[in-house]
Amino acid sequence: MTAGRNRPATNGLPAGDFRLRWLLVTAILTGSGAALSAALVFSGIIEWGFGNGVLVLLPVVSAGLLSLLLNLFLDNRYLRRAFQFQQDTMEVLEEQKRFQIEAQQVVAERDRLSAIGTMAGGFAHNFNNLLLPILGLSQSVQDDLPEKSPLREDMGVIISAARQAKSLVDAILSQARTPDAGEEETLAHALHSAATLARAALSSRLRLEVTDSADDVGTVIVPVSSLEAALLNLIANARDAYGEKEGTISLRAVVETLRGPRLVSGNLLSPGRYLDVSVTDKAGGMSRDVQAKALTPFYTTKSADVGTGLGLHTVMIFARDHEGSVEITSEEGIGTRVDILLRIADDNRLVTAG
């Protein structure tokens, strides 16, 4: 904007232009009125005299009034523009105020998450100490079993579950540090491993379907433990949503390309290739209020002895670690779909946020 348009005293015009315009219009119209009066007198149409003075001066007075009305009309146009400018300024100020409030909320949320990370560090050491004998003794028992023993597979499930418990702690602690990628494998291997663990924890009433609809999905390299932990969280949520009912849980993986930026659950995703792994159920869905709070730490609709409210939040942490996000799509009375979006680098590995 120019400096002249910010001067309220002249309703959007520079002071010199405003006065010049007024004088010019007044002089032209008044001069025209005076010329008309003189022409009427000299032509003999109106005789000069005191009695006819009003008639002689009528064109001059009319021209002056016309000049005044014209200037008032022009002034109203500029006043309307000035009023619109004021409204636009107020909208900008309101937007800035909203932005400041949102920024304060973001800072408060980060402080809260920092406190959660500090608290998690306190119990992580003791929890790992409890896992050590479980992992060590389970591995020893598995090694001692005959090669063809059916118990070897069961022991493998126990060992894998204990490793997922350790991965859960690592996911919580990742709020305060850059996570270690850990063991990497193809996505096909990770999906098969997660499905094996999940089926062991599902009742006979529930069926798990695994599909991938793109040829290049199998070539994506992923951190196995972290992805398995995230998927097990989502599958456990779907299982709990069904309760005692029968149903199907679908696990699906595709690769999609974002052509432009996309905002997902408060995270701005850049254009590029993304791995989209989703878990879908038909267990009745969430209300809008529950869906809005689902990713909030410690928020849960389950009883205290069943859920901690950290499951979906740890999945979001995992997604953010790979420049992605979590998207929840739910319709009350029908079901829920949760998508984990993870950015893929040029070497077909997941991008690690740094």
> If pLDDT is split at 50, 70 and 90, which confidence band does 272 have?
very high
Overall average pLDDT of the 331-339 stretch:
93
Above 80 in pLDDT, residue 55? no
Structure tokens at 88: 């636009």
Overall average pLDDT of the 33-39 stretch:
62
Which pLDDT value is given to residue 171?
58
Which pLDDT value is given to residue 280?
95
Overall average pLDDT of the 276-294 stretch:
90
Overall average pLDDT of the 31-59 stretch:
57
Which pLDDT value is given to residue 257?
92
β-strand 272-281 against 247-258: which pairing, if any? antiparallel
User: Which domains, from first to last, does the chain contain?
Assistant: 4-101 (no CATH), 183-343 (3.30.565.10)
Whole-structure pTM over 0.95, yes or no? no
Which pLDDT value is given to residue 99?
75
Which pLDDT value is given to residue 64?
62
Above 50 in pLDDT, residue 6? no
Most confident of 58-62, 134-138, 293-297, 329-333: 329-333
> If pLDDT is split at 50, 70 and 90, which confidence band does 324 have?
very high
Overall average pLDDT of the 317-332 stretch:
91
Predicted confidence (pLDDT) per residue in 120-161, tens digit: 665 665 676 577 678 778 888 888 888 888 888 888 888 888
Predicted confidence (pLDDT) per residue in 66-89, tens digit: 666 666 666 666 667 767 777 888
Question: How big is the chain, counted in residues?
Answer: 354
Above 70 in pLDDT, residue 310? yes
Overall average pLDDT of the 325-330 stretch:
94
Of the candidates 158, 251, 236, the residue with the CA atom closest to the CA atom of residue 202 = 236
Which residues, other chains included, contact 289 with Cβ-Cβ below 8 Å and sequence gap of 6+?
Answer: none
- The Cα angle at residue 85 between residues 84 and 86, in degrees rounded to 5: 90
Predicted confidence (pLDDT) per residue in 186-203, tens digit: 888 888 888 888 887 788
Of 217 and 314, the one with more pLDDT: 314
DSSP state of 219: G
- What's CA 163's distance to the chain center, in Å? 33
- What's CA 40's distance to the chain center, in Å? 77
Of 99 and 254, the one with more pLDDT: 254
Which pLDDT value is given to residue 3?
41
Most confident of 31-35, 69-73, 213-217, 287-291: 287-291
- Cα separation of 78 and 84, whole Å? 10
Which pLDDT value is given to residue 71?
63
> If pLDDT is split at 50, 70 and 90, which confidence band does 13 have?
very low
Determine phi and psi for 184, rounding to 5 degrees.
Answer: -115, 140
